[in-house]
Amino acid sequence: MDTETDPRSCPFGYPQKDAAAIIGIGASAGGSAALETFFENCPTESGAAFVVIQDIPTKHESLTAGLLAQRTRMPVEMIEADTRPRPDHVYLNPPGTVMRIEKGVLRFTPCDEGQSLPIDSFFTSLAEECGDRASGILLSGTGSDGTRDRGRPA
């Protein structure tokens, strides 16, 4: 495999154009204020990619991208297709989706209404894919979403 298809085969664990770290941030639909505060105080040139996972039903529109774009100088993007995370960017999952990171690429699928735990799903894939380049921040969640395996050693 070459480094374009499998970033884990690169020296230092990632191609230079890819983010040095992937920071997953879980927040419920009501977590906008916490997200805004976080990004107002977040360094904009850390080399990390930030992936915001929210549990927003399909029928609702997310205003989070616009709100966060007002709080940070980093580009803020709602994922519309498979995307390779870039340094100093903020990515959001579309409403009604579950996102994972696989082979260095953010991918999403429609969620099963009432059955998905999108924060847990992303955090699990992030840990499996990125190892020590991964961090997870849980600002708020629905029920226990985001807390599965929280005490499990790496």
Residue for token pair 């983010």: 19
- Predicted confidence at residue 15, as pLDDT, reads 45
Taking only the tens place, the pLDDT of each residue in 16-68 is 467 889 999 998 877 888 999 999 999 999 999 999 998 877 666 678 889 99
Taking only the tens place, the pLDDT of each residue in 142-153 is 555 555 554 444
Query: Two tokens at 143?
Result: 């029920």
Tell me the whole-structure pTM to 2 decimals: 0.80
* Residue 60 vs residues 5, 45, 54, 102, 137: alpha-carbon distances, Å: 34, 32, 12, 27, 24
| DSSP string computed for 4-33 | TT-GGGSGGGS-TTS-SEEEEEEEETT-HH
CA distance 139 to 62: 17
| Amino acid symbol at 132 | D
